Each structure stands twice: as C-alpha cells, then as structure tokens.
Structure 1
Amino acid sequence: MDFATSENGNGNGNAIGDGEGHSAPGPVPVFGARFRTEPAALYRELRREHGEVVPVLLDGGVPAWLVLGYRELHQVTSDPELFSRNSALWNQWPRIPDDWPLLPVISRDQPSILGTVGERHRQRATLIGEAMEAVDPLELRGHAERFADELIDAVCGVGAADLVAQYAALLPVRVLAFLFGFREEHGPGLVAALNDILDGQERAVAAERYLRTAMARLVAERRERPGDDVVSRLLAHAPAYEVTVEEVTHDVMVMLAIGHQPATDWIGNSLHLMLTDDRFAASLFGGRSSVAEAMNEVLWEDSPIQNAAGRWTTRDTRLGGRVLGAGDLVLLGLQGANSDPRVRADGSALTGGNNAHFSFGHGAHRCPFPARETAEVIARTGIEVVLDRLPDLDLAVPATALTRRASPWLRGLVELPVRFTPTPARGT
C-alpha cells in the first residue's frame, strides 16, 4: 500500500501518497464513532480531505482503501479480474492474528460463495438463485404476515413497544429460518449470533462458530429428511453444479446472515423515516402509497449495508488518483457512493423509481435478484403490518435520542421505542 502509520510496521511515515508526489492527511480509523453517529457528514469530510478513495485503518491498525466515489465503485465492482473477490490475495495476512475480530467478515479461507470467482462463482450463484426463485412470492408474503402478526400480538395490548428489539430484529430471521427449514426454537440463538458477527466486536469469532454448528446440523437434517425448503433444494441440485455438502453449508450461513440483518435494518430505518419525516405522515394513518417510496429512499440515504468487504487488487493499479499495490484490500463504500455529489446534482434525492443505488451491490457479486425480492417482500410486509395493526403510532422518545449499532458495515437502530393506542391481539 502507498500509505502507512507507525503501527503499520512498514516504516513509511504518517503521510499518504496520491501518486503525484503530494502528501495528504493520514488514514482514518473505520471504527470511529462518527461512522455510527454522523456518516453523511463524515463522508463529505472524507471526500474533501482525501478524495473518492480514502485510506483507512481496520481493527488493529490494518490498512485498507475505502471507495466512496460512485464511478470508482462502479469500476471496482465491474472488473472482477483486477478487483478480485479472492481474499487469499491480501498482502496483510502475515500480520493478522488468529483472534482478529474481523475474521468472520474478512476470512483468508472463504469457502462460501463470497470467496469464489469466475465460472465457479457463476455456478454457485445460479444454484442459490434457483433455490430462492422457487419460493412463491404470495406464499412468502403469507408467511411474513403470519410471523409479523404473532410479534405484534405480543405488544399491541400494551400501547408501547420497541420496534427493533421486539419486532424488526426478530421478523426476517423467523421468515428465513422457516424458508430454510430450521425449527422455530432456533430463532433467538440465530439472531444473537448474527448480530455479534456483523457488529465485528469481541464476540464475533465465537458467534461464527455457533452459526457454523447450527448450519451443519440443519444441512444434516435436511439430507436425512428432505422437505419443501431452500436447503433441501440446494442439496438436491448441488451435484449438477458440482457443489459439495460443505459448500452448501457455508452458502446457507451467508444467505441467512446477508438476508436477516439488512432486512431488519431496512424495516427499522424505513419506519424511522416514516415516523420522523412529515412527507410520510399520511402512511401512519391508513395510507400505504408511501411505503415503497420510504423503503427506496432508505436504500439511497440510509442504506442498511453501509460498507462491504471487499475486493483485492490482483496487480498494482490506480483508482481515483490513488496508487494501489497488488494485494491491497478495497472496501466498498456503498452509502458513500450513493451520496456522491457528482451523481446527486443539487442534492437531489434520486428516489422514487430510481434504483441505481449500490445498496444491493453491483456486478458479478451483486445480491441475486430472488434474494433481493425476498428481502423486499419481508421488509415491506413487516412495515405494512405495523401500520395496519398499531394506530396513532408515534415515537416515544425524541428522534435525537435514538442510537445506531456500533458497526462499520451495517447501519441500523439499536432501538425504536414507540407508543400507540392499545388494540386487542388477533390470535393468529
């Protein structure tokens, strides 16, 4: 890499290079509090000080590049030959300890679809897409409504609830666990493990072990007793794509992780927007036309997946005026690219029917369409059930009192306390 600090261990000093002999401010810690509290202002500041490709430090002072530019991110995600998904290329592996908290997210040995490239990736993506595409959207919505109603039944008579902890954090994993073939009693443990992994803190490694064990148990059960579920379909069709049972196990774990928490945050962030923005007030009192608009605006302005890891350069190259070395780690600044002023003329919202955001990724490794459709059905159903069931919904605390999860990857609320007129349970 062409930047370093004293903790990098390669003795290049505190400045960074722009490839033109100039110096610039040093790298930015990705785990800083401002990534959680004021990302929009932070991205503007980073652009002003560093440009569209920002030198950053991961946990332990490990260097990487964060791409904030829309055009630059499009370039990275469109060129898998130069910006590979093969994490074994990383030039920092010799300094990564065995207990590094980001190993569940950035792993050297990535046996899931996230670590595959080329034709092998296409095969596994096709297998997953076919297994997910077999889920009927109407049946999916019915399952989501049933679980949503059960969760609302638990709070509707009280007149107050935390729509994150008691609702949004539970709904997607319950729906996905049902689709995958999990028994319902496994839901709480899966939620806790997924949150610990994606927060990237000290409990992440142990949580990944728990999740791996749960997935292996599920796959073993579905091999012995196939059913009408996603995992059974993956196992049935895997031989045709030369995908092993172990690979299916890893892919199911990725599918659950990527499917659950972003959908949770999509629900929470959309409800937050509708509760705090007067443009959506009518939806809180019986209207539904604005739900899709709110959800799309969140994907532009408050994306559940803020940053993603990552891509690794296969050779020395230039990007956004920076000189990147072979094996450098490139982080995908999805929210930063969505807010790039070069594609947001005059601060335009670019919402409504505009889906050119990066919130589902781009290129060969983007989120498969059936998976995106599943997440949208779960999130939209979850929001609409809340609005249908809880009259006079309002925030129970000032909007400024709400806090966000301490994660550089995901942007979601820790809690969303609301009050409403108590109503009887439906007993569905």
Structure 2
Amino acid sequence: MGPRFQNNDRARLYREIYEQHGPIAPVVLPGDVPCWLVLGYRELHQITSDPVLFSRDSQLWNRWPEIPADWPLLPMVGKQPSILYTVGERHQRRAALISDALAAVDPFELRSHSERFADRLIDELCGRGSGDLISEYAKVLPALVLAQLYGFSDEAGARLVPSINALVDGGPDALAGRDTVKSAMSTLLASRRAAPAAGVASRLLYHDYARDFSFEEILEDMMVNIVAGHQPTADWIGNSLRLMLTDDRFAASLSGGRHSVAEAMNEVLWEDTPTQNIAGRWTTRDTQLAGRHIAAGDLLMLSFAAANGDPQVRPDRGSFTGGNSAFLSFGHGEHRCPYPAQDIAEGIARTGIEVLLDRLPDVDLAVSPQALVWRPSPFLRGLASLPVRFTPTPKSTAGGSR
C-alpha cells in the first residue's frame, strides 16, 4: 500500500518482488496477516486449473482464529453466501444459471442501451468544454447499462448509480450503499417472481437450475454481478481513455480511427488491468508449489497484474501486445469471470469509448499525465479522476441509434 504500489511504478515493484522471491512470494496483509502472493503466470494458471487442491472455499483458511471482526479486508476475504465462495457441483450449477441468464442479452440491445446512455452523459458536459471522464462518465455508464439489462427502468437505474459507486468505493457510505442496492434488487426480484418480464432478473428466477437456489442466494448473485460488472468496466473505460490520451500509438483513434480502440483496450488488460489482485484460493492440504511449502488452509492472493507481466512469459514488456488475448485479467478456470459477462463488459466499454470519441473528437487531457492519480486499492486499478478539455459541442440528436 506504499507510494510505489499506488502510482505508475507498480509494475516494476511486482518485478522486483518476483526477482527476489520467485513466482510465489510471502507477504503480509493489513494487521500482519500472512499470505502468499502468486506472481507467476504458470503458477496462477496451475492454481486456477485445480479447484480441488486450491479451493475457493474461504472457510478453509487456517488464520480465522486470529482475524478480528473489524479486519478491513473481510469484505474481500470473508465467508459469503454468494457464488464467489461456492465450490464443487453446486458452483457449477450456479455458474451455469448466471452464465445462461447473461448469455441471453442481445448484443444489439446492449449496444443500443450503451449508446443511448453514453449520449445522455455526454450531453451533460459537452457544452462546457471540460469535464472529468471518471466521475461524470466512466463511473456512471456501466451501472446505467447493467441496471437496464437486469430490468430496472431508466429512472430507477439512475437512482442506483450513487449507491453502487458508494458500495464499490468502500468509503463511509459503503454500507448504506449496499443496503440501498440490495433493497432495490430484492424489490425487482420479487416483482419479477410475481410477473416475469424481460431482463436478466427474470431469466435468473425462471432458469431450470433456479429451483436449486433460494431467493436470497439469487439476490446475492445479482449483487455480486452488478458490482463486479460495474467497477472493472468503469476502470477499463478510464484506463483505456488515459492510454489513448497519453500514448502516441493510439492517437489515430482521437481522429476517428476505430481499430486502435480495441487495441488500446487489449493493451490495458495487459498493462493496467482493472482487476489487479484477488483473494483468493485456499489449499485443501499441504503441497509444494514453485519450490515453496504451502500448508493446508494457507491463503493465496492471485495477482493477475503481476502474472500478466511475468518475465518468464513476457521478457520484453515494452513490446506492443497487439491482438494477443492470453492475459489473465478475467481469471481462469471454473471461477473465472463468465464469458457472457466479459462480452457485456467489453461491449459497454468499447461503445462508451467510441461514442465519446465521436462526440468529442478533439478531447485532450486538461492536466499533465504525471498529475493523474490512481485510486488507493490493492485489488482494483483505476484513476481517481481524468480531467479533460475539448471544443464545446451541441447536444446529441442521435437518440441512441447510430
């Protein structure tokens, strides 16, 4: 959590840890709680490919007797009733339920909603000639689109955005934000159970596997998916725009080119992936990994960011990643981000960036690149703000159809 971890020196710090300790390093979490940080690409791949030995069941942790009730990482590590910590056949059925509900999202409908909300947000700032593309755009667009896909009205989705952001920011309003989001989700699910309608919520309730899970479990998974879908997508948009505004390789996109939008988004997943580290996996028995003795019940923190820059896999990090999509930014194995969720995130992010560049073609940073500040999170990678300037333009007449 030091300054090197919170700025652009993070990649070099990962490499130094790797050079000193190898692909698995002993680290301490807040409160001097020990765990293993997995930095190696091959090791992370091995761990996520073996859910029997490296389980997602946090109840296996051998440190629980020492963890205080107010430990700050409990929301990320604690015992939860969601799909994140479900294992075995029950997890497979739960994952299929969510994946099928998301897979039914029409890509044309997704793009239409994304364009419509993107135009609406840009309309709020286009006449000013300046704005913050994080707070006014990237941190709003995914939540609006996801709320629409789940079945919320435009107005209800807009009311949820501040609470979703409060929840994911983890500040003093986080618990109140979670309560608001959970209450709205519960009301939506209850209404869909009484009267099915279009949207992900109804598909979750009326899937063949839904009978295996309680109303509360389905509600918890809706919460997980809208939060996990919103913030990484917001950071994907923000990190990609930062790259395109600061790296000459992507300048063509700011003049109307389209191929390099996808290239910039791909580059970000390698170099500044929104999901940096995740806790984690717990060993079900003593084992050896990369020359380390890992005791039963040990916690392994998975560093997707470090693995993407593993010197054994990418000796030259200065080379352009191009279309290489072998990154681990969405995880791997049966607990990876569902493929339909990945497609939805990519659709929202790419549409959001393209609409922004269409509407504000001369957008430029309003500060020096060195003045940009990253949010202080060990798990996610995103900017605190992205101030820009541009030529003021009139509001859109596109109506969400391009």
Normalising by structure 1, report the TM-score: 0.88
In the alignment, does 2:172 pair up with 1:168? no
Percent identity, aligned pairs only? 61
**Larger mean Cα displacement after TM superposition, 185-194 or 153-162:** 185-194
Aligned partners of 2:37 and 2:159: how far apart in 1?
A: 32
Which residue among 106, 110, 121 is the counterpart of 1:151? 121
Q: In structure 2, what is the equivalent of residue 13 of structure 1?
A: none
Query: Given the alignment of the two structures, is residue 366 of structure 1 paired with residue 332 of structure 2, yes or no?
Result: no
Q: 1:34, CA displacement in angstroms?
A: 2.5
Distance 1:106 1:192 in 2: 24
The aligned counterpart of 1:426 is: 396
CA shift digits 1:252-296 (9 cap, x unpaired):
011001110000000000010000000111110111111010000
2:225 counterpart of 1:225:
no
1:391 aligns with 361
Give the Å deviation of 1:368: 1.1
- Residue 213 of structure 1 aligns to a residue whose secondary structure is helix
Uncovered stretches (5+) of structure 2, i.e. residues with no partner: none
C-alpha separation in 2, matches of 1:240 and 1:186: 25
Give how far 1:350 is off: 6.1
Number of equivalenced pairs: 397
Aligned partner of residue 36 in structure 2, secondary structure: strand
CA distance in 1, matches of 2:22, 2:123: 50
Q: Aligned pair in 2 of structure 1 residues 188, 95: CA closer, same or farther (>3 Å)?
A: farther
Deviation at 1:349, TM superposition (A): 3.8
Q: Compute the displacement of 1:354 (Å).
A: 1.2
- Corresponding residue of 2:264: 294
Q: Does structure 1 retain, via aligned residues, the 8 Å contact 2:93–2:209?
A: no
1:39 and 2:25 aligned: no
Cα distance in 2 between the residues matched to 1:311 and 1:350: 31
Instruction: Give 2:29's aligned amino acid.
Output: L
Q: For residue 331 of structure 1, what is the aligned residue in structure 2? A: 301
After TM superposition, list the pairs within 5 Å mapping 1:228-267 onto structure 2.
Answer: 228-237=198-207, 239=209, 242-267=212-237
State how far apart, in whole Å, the 2-side matches of 1:254 and 1:203 are: 18
Contact residue 193 and residue 202 of structure 2 kept, 8 A:
yes
2:97, 2:210 within 8 Å by CA — same for their partners in 1?
no
Where do residues 19-418 of structure 1 align in structure 2 (5 Å cutoff)?
Answer: 31-37=1-7, 38-108=9-79, 110-187=80-157, 190-200=160-170, 204-237=174-207, 239=209, 242-347=212-317, 349=319, 351-418=321-388
Q: Is the 8 A contact 1:198 1:410 kept in 2?
A: no
State the Cα distance separating 1:393 from its structure 2 match: 1.1
Q: Letter of the aligned partner of 2:187 in structure 1?
A: R
Q: 1:196: Cα distance to partner?
A: 4.5
Over the aligned positions, Cα root-mean-square deviation in angstroms equals 1.8
Q: What is the Cα deviation at residue 309 of structure 1?
A: 1.3
How much does 1:244 deviate? 1.8
Distance (Å, rounded) in 1 between the aligned partners of 2:62 and 2:330 = 27
Taking a change above 3 Å as real, the CA distance of residues 89 and 301 of structure 1, as seen in their structure-2 partners, is: same
Matched letter for residue 61 of structure 1: D
Indicate if the aligned counterparts of 2:40 and 2:310 stay in contact, CA closer than 8 A. Answer: yes
| Corresponding residue number in structure 2 for 1:18 | none
Gap change, CA 1:119 and 1:40, over 3 Å in 2: same
Unaligned runs of 5+ in 1: 1-30
The offset of 1:57, in angstroms, is 1.9
